[in-house]
Structure 1
Amino acid sequence: MVSTSIASRAMDFVRGFWRKHRRRIFVTAGCVGSGYLLYKLYNAHTRRLAVLEQELAIDRESEEIIKTQMKAHFENIQMIADTTTLSHAMQYLSDRIREEIDVSNVMESLNKGKGTLPPSEKLQLWDKLKILSFTRMVLSLWSVTMLSLYIRVQVNILGRHLYIDTARGLGSSHLLEDLDLIDRDDEQKFLASADFLSTNGMPGLISDVQAAVTEVLKGKQLRDVYTASVLQETVMQILDVFMSSGSPHHWVDYLMTPQETRIGPNPSDNLKEVSSSDVTVTKFDQLMVEAREVLTSTEFTNIVEISLKSFITAFVDEMETREGLGMGMPLAKLLPRIEGMIPTMTTEPGRNRFLQLIRDQPEVQLFFTLLYSSMPQ
């Protein structure tokens, strides 16, 4: 009975305590439970943050490796353009210009005929020398500028494709220098197409440049005095007439095979059209389409204008320094001096300060950096 009474009193105490403090008990239990749950959530969140930070650190390291590799690859590509591809193409171009426009016979006839040539024949020879000299000067200036820019477009497109193809096959953390996943024949064919200007494109180019020279120099007399500013303005006028004649970007067909003779008339639709036909689209075709799209872009047109202007300015400045053009001289006296300066335009890249000037233009450097880094993948 005693134990039953004790038990009864204990139960009554518990019930009383519960009734009196149950709200506090619920609150306390809730706080403890919530605290434990928050602790578990915080602990899990902390672990997830640690894992995420580790993954981000790995990604940052991978990105730095990729940036370093791409920078080194880009610099190697530019060096290849200067020392290998452009050097060969420039020598070939120089030979072709010298073969196609030879003024030595005209100058020799003038020298031998001093005092003996009839005035009309002498004037005819001088007029011929005037047209040929300006044609050879403007042709050299334009060809050297465009060939150097086009080859740089080629090697940057090709270099970007090589890098992407290799990275896809191996993963971006592998070394890429000794690997070449692009077809070697297509690569060599693409680079060799830079000689199109010196072979197929040269006759039409000479004809159009000579037509522009004839139009601008029409009425110019041999006794007319040419200062540096007059010479610069004359060359710019000739280039403006030449570049603006014909259809937009007609000059691209002097640098590469006309589009319609290879795949189709619309560069942006070529690959789509060919893919649905029986014609096999090679890597070479894709590279040529990309190159043409770059050459016909507004950005490239701006780079061409900047490069040509810098070349003309540097050439005239050198004429002024070396030939005393500052005070001006008659056109008849200027022509032989122009002939003496032309070989400096087409000399090999390592000694060609005009090529170096174009390459070092900030706008040109930025253009090719963006071309390499943003090529469609």
Structure 2
Amino acid sequence: MSVVFDAVGGFLNRNRRKFYWLGGTVGSGYLLFKYAQWKWTEFQQRREIEQTAKSNVKRRFEQNLQDCTFAVGSLLPTLGENLFNELNVELLTAQLQQTRQAKTEGGEGGEDQPGAPVTQPRKTKLEIWEELKLLSFTRTISSVYLVTLLIVFTHLQLSLLGRFFYLDSVVAFSQTDREQQVRGTVGGRKGVSDETERKYLTFSWYVLNVGWKQCVAQVQRAVQEVVGSISLKEVTTYDALIEIIGKVREKVEDENGENSNMTAFLLPEEGKEEDVLRAGGVETDGFVVDKELKDLLNETRDFLDSSDFRKVLKSCFDEAFDLLFKQLRPTFFAEQESRQRSHIAEVQEGEDIQDNAENKGKAMPLAGVIPVISRLVHHVVNGVPNIFLEILSTQPELKALSVVMYTGWEDHVL
């Protein structure tokens, strides 16, 4: 046995350097393998956390957009009530019906009532028609502007508030354990105090109680200039009506040289914030606009004054009025489009498009269009489902601006 041990000992002694090298190589390889395994596991965990974080941010942003739609929907009844009370087209329509009835009764009696001039009913009827013409255009066009402004402004407000929650979630995310991060249960405060958030959202009161009147007045001036001189008997086509509304838009949006002046309908002048908060139901005894709220309002005004916001607003106006024109189209093309559908299989697609482009649709006196114009306000404000709210809330430029506001921050915020 000793001989065997001596032989093995001699072999190990003669080759100890080789064994040291082999042991070092195996050991190093093992350590490298364990290090690579650890780094791979760490990478997998980090990627899992990052994917969860991105998913959570996306989910929060999508929820923010849904909140915007819900918030605007809750404000529309108030806007509609204001428009219907202030621009009472229905009252004028009832007065017209009364003049018709009075004229019929006068005809049946063979003579007008004693002391009533013969021309009085006709003159009154004409005056009512002229007022109805102006009020119908004013109310419907104003509703399109105001719904669009409400949608864009609400997206701006909630995107700015949502950003603070996002930033706080990022900070909280870095301070929580991996299990919470992977589960996506990281929370955090809302970035601004609940009181500041409540006060900031109260400024929608200004749009619904002050700004809307300014908007209506601006539209009313434009309608008077464009529509006021058009005779009730003038023959009107679909294209002519679009041109009329387009001219009103030019005057409304280009007042003072740019459409940015319409943002004045959204927030009060600086220094009058406390008046709005008090009128909106916020307790303001001894209240001074604190720095947190002031910074939020200043940032809101910066966005409202930016060229990007003006482009988005213009794009949303275009989308909204295109929707309005689609609501008008059946009045002029219903019969024609019905005939086209009945024999569309017999007409080549290129010829069908050409025929449709060449046909101007039905023509009617402007007086015949006024009832259609006056009824469109119900689609804009009271539609169920409200296509204006649904489509404008997903308008690409508005969504892109919401992303910029939601994810934009300065270093000092963190």
Does structure 2 conserve the Cα–Cα contact (< 8 Å) formed by 1:344 and 1:352?
A: yes
Distance 1:178 1:289, change over 3 A: same
- Corresponding residue of 2:21: none
Distance 1:71 1:118 in 2: 64
Structure 2: 5+ residue runs without aligned partners?
1-25, 104-118, 275-287, 335-360
Equivalent positions of 1:200-215 (< 5 A) are: 200-215=210-225
Structure 1: 5+ residue runs without aligned partners?
1-38, 264-278
Deviation at 1:254, TM superposition (A): 0.7
Using the size of structure 1 for normalisation, the TM-score is 0.76
Which amino acid counterpart does residue 237 of structure 1 have in structure 2? K
- Corresponding residue of 1:334: 369
Computed over aligned residues only, the root mean square deviation of the Cα atoms, in angstroms, reads: 3.3
Distance 1:192 1:338 in 2: 33
Does structure 2 conserve the Cα–Cα contact (< 8 Å) formed by 1:323 and 1:337?
A: no
User: Secondary structure at the residue paired with 2:208?
Assistant: coil
Which of 53, 57, 75 is the matching residue for 1:89? 75
Equivalent positions of 1:59-74 (< 5 A) are: 59-74=46-61
Equivalent positions of 1:1-377 (< 5 A) are: 55-83=42-70, 85-114=71-100, 115=103, 117-169=120-172, 171=174, 173=181, 175-176=185-186, 179-180=189-190, 182-246=192-256, 248=258, 249-259=260-270, 261-262=272-273, 281-322=290-331, 326-347=361-382, 351-376=385-410, 377=413
Using the size of structure 2 for normalisation, the TM-score is 0.70
Rg (Cα) greater in structure: 1
Deviation larger for 92-101 or 53-62: 53-62
Deviation larger for 336-345 or 117-126: 117-126
Distance 1:134 1:280, change over 3 A: closer
Distance 1:157 1:224, change over 3 A: same
Distance 2:331 2:145 in 1: 22
- Corresponding residue of 1:12: none
Deviation larger for 241-250 or 326-335: 241-250
Which amino acid counterpart does residue 237 of structure 2 have in structure 1? T
- Corresponding residue of 1:25: none
Deviation at 1:161, TM superposition (A): 1.0
Deviations 1:29-72 (A, max 9, x none): xxxxxxxxxx9999999988776655544433332121011011
Deviation at 1:92, TM superposition (A): 1.1
User: Secondary structure at the residue paired with 1:327?
Assistant: coil
Q: How many residue pairs are counted as aligned between the two chains?
A: 329
Which amino acid counterpart does residue 153 of structure 1 have in structure 2? L
**Percentage of matched positions with identical amino acids:** 22
Distance 1:280 1:194 in 2: 17
Distance 1:52 1:289, change over 3 A: farther
